[in-house]
Amino acid sequence: MSTARAAAILLAKELRLELRTRELLNATIVFALVVVVLFSFSFDPTSAESRRLGPGLLWIAFLFAGSLMLHPSFGREQINQTLDALRMAPISPFALLLGKIFANFLFLSAAEVILIPIFAVLYNVSLMGVIWKLAIVLALGTAGLCITGTVFSAIAAHARMRELLLPLLLLPILAPLLIAAVEATASLFAERPGLDRTWLAFLAGFDIVFLTASWLLSDFLLDE
């Protein structure tokens, strides 16, 4: 079976599993919302201040939500040893990883789609003119977060204290992604919005570097 087809089947399985309960999605959205609301107490959320601090706030909320949401990705497979079953299937380990990366990407994107309008309303930021450009930044940033996060979820699944370990491993590695995503978003939140292409290229580079690394290392990551 080709990698793409195997990944698509696994993606369908992940989506089916999630849509039955929606527990992951609900918890993620509410958690990110709590972060967004709590931030309003840390500074005066006037329109000017929100434009200045909003991009950082938004990405910190996504990063924290992502680092918590990604744990069940492999953690869930441990309960009934279903990971062993998946590994016995005649598919490449990268297909398994790719299916999960796509699934996490969709979950987190769904959360973002719900959160962005709420954020715009709560913080008085008008996003109508830049919504498509913002979608590109969000997609590239979320992809980087999900690629590294899914790999680290597989690493953390074998450790003790795995819920705490995943953010610990993931957040420092995302420092360059956070800078690039915040700067790209800030260029859209500015008085005269214009997408900063340097940061967009940097985000794409981040995604490519770590996707390639995951492809090369997936055999080792999932072989035991």
Partner 1 sequence: MKSRIPITLVVAALIFFAGYAALFIAPDERTMHEIQRIFYFHLGSWTAMFTALTIAFVANVGWLLTRKPRWDWLGVSAVEVGVVACTSGLITGVLWGKPAWGIWWTWDARLTTCFILWLLYISYLILRGLIDEPQRRATLSAVFGIFAFLDAPLVYVSNRLWRTQHPAPVLFGGADSGLDPTMVKVLLFSMCAMLALMLVVLADRYRLERMRHELDELRVAAETRSLSAGPALTSATRG
Residue 15 vs residues 18, 24, 73, 212, 217: alpha-carbon distances, Å: 5, 11, 11, 24, 25
Which residue in 176, 195, 204, 215 binds partner 1 (CB under 8 A)?
176
Among 10, 24, 96, 221, binds partner 1 (CB under 8 A): 221
Alpha carbon distance, N-terminus to C-terminus of the chain: 22
3-state helix, strand and coil shares in percent for the chain, rounded to the nearest 5: 85, 0, 15
The yes or no reply on residue 200 touching partner 1 (CB under 8 A) is no
Candidate list 105, 123, 152, 189; residue touching partner 1; CB under 8 A: 152
Q: With contacts defined by CB under 8 A, how many residues of the chain interact with partner 1?
A: 33
| 24 or 147: CB nearest partner 1 | 147
> Using the rule CB under 8 A, which residue among 173, 190, 195, 204 binds partner 1?
173
Per the structure block, which two tokens stand in for 191? 């008085």
Q: Are 210 and 173 in contact (CB under 8 A)?
A: no
**Interacting span for partner 1 (CB under 8 A) from 79-87, 123-131, 133-141, 167-175:** 167-175
Contact call for residue 128 and partner 1 (CB under 8 A): no
Closest CB to partner 1 among residues 29, 101: 101
Long-range contacts of 40-46 (CB under 8 A, 24+ apart): 40/122, 40/123, 45/122, 45/123, 45/124, 46/124
Q: Is residue 195 at the binding interface for partner 1, with CB under 8 A as the rule?
A: no
Cβ(70)–Cβ(150) below 8 Å: yes
Binding region for partner 1 (CB under 8 A):
148, 151-152, 155-156, 158-162, 165, 168-169, 172-173, 175-176, 179-180, 183, 198-199, 202, 205-206, 209-210, 213, 217, 220-221, 223-224
